[in-house]
Amino acid sequence: MRLLFLGDVVGRPGRQVVLDHLPRLREAWTLDFVVVNGENAAGGFGITEAIHDDLVEAGADVVTLGNHSFDQREALVFIERAPRLIRPANYPAGTPGRGAALVEARGGERVLVVNMMGRAFMDPMDDPFAAIDRELEAGPLGLVADAVIVDFHAETTSEKQAFGHWCDGRASLVIGTHTHVPTSDHRILPGGTAFMTDVGMCGCYDGVIGMDKEEPLRRFTRKIGSSRFEPAMGEGTLSGLAVETDGAGQAIKIAPVRIGGSLQPALPDFW
């Protein structure tokens, strides 16, 4: 299967670059399954139903979230009727929405997508290592799912790499989100799981993690904020990862995708 994962969509520049390119990529690369992290799609904070619908219409099979899941409070409601929208699985029991979705790909394959949040330097959620075990036992790769994609939304490289190793052989892809900067350590782990510490964001890189740089700089240097954070409004870069899996759901090819904006462009050479 041909999988594409796109990182945290930040504000209008992020949405724009996804809406501009995803429909075309879907077709050009005959993608089987697309996951988009949408936790910052609405002005940098959370997601609205309208934006969610736009992302799905543009080609996202599943939209994942993170620590900003419910910044837009309407998400607490519409997530219940949005089968393609998931939030981290290790939120407390009773949290609206689900942390995993088993969704049918275009060709009929079943893809399990799990969203999970790390705990190092983040608001402490329940143990992501124990939680992913439960999810992967409920939807084992090769039995229940033809591919398994895990969005691990976490701050530190150490927790993300540990998480990748922990899942190795049980997922097709473990991909980090949240730092809004793509790493260049994409690789296939020994057990067959594609891994990348962070996929980066879809948004304007001429800022501070996608936000206009003035207010972050003010807070770092003066320790007193003076306004809200607003998305940086320059041209967005689409940042993602392309993974091809075999019949067993193991990753066999992997390549970063970067289109537009200010980062060095990258495209898979195998599609």
Binding site for its own copies (CB under 8 A): 70, 73, 76, 91-95, 119-121, 123-127, 129-130, 155-159, 161-163, 165-166, 179-187, 190, 197-198, 200, 205-209, 213, 216-217, 220-224, 226, 256, 258, 262-264, 266
Q: 178 among the known binding-site residues?
A: yes
Q: Are 247 and 140 in contact (CB under 8 A)?
A: no
The response to whether 49 counts as a known ligand-binding position is no
Strands, sheet with 251-259, edge to edge from the N-terminal-most edge strand: 62-64, 33-37, 2-6, 238-245, 251-259
| Beta carbons of 90 and 131 less than 8 angstroms apart | yes
Please say whether the beta carbons of 38 and 63 come within 8 A: yes
| Closest CA relative to residue 23, chosen from 37, 42, 4 | 4
> From the list 15, 52, 178, 186, which residue makes contact with Fe ion (rule: CB under 5 A)?
178
Q: Is residue 52 a known part of a binding site? A: no
Which is it for the CA torsion 154, 217, 41, 26, positive or negative? negative
Cβ nearer to its own copies, comparing 5 with 163: 163
Q: How far apart are CA 35 and CA 26, in angstroms?
A: 12
Stretch that binds Fe ion, among 31-39, 56-64, 190-198, 254-262 (CB under 5 A): 31-39
Nearer to Fe ion, 26 or 87 (CB): 87
**Residue where the block lists tokens 């690789």:** 187
Binding region for Fe ion (CB under 5 A) out of 36-44, 55-63, 78-86, 168-176: 36-44
Whether 52 sits among the annotated catalytic residues: the reply is no
User: What are the binding residues for Fe cation?
Assistant: 8, 39-40, 67, 153, 178, 180
Binding site for Fe ion (CB under 5 A): 8, 39-40, 66-67, 178
Write out the catalytic residue numbers: 68
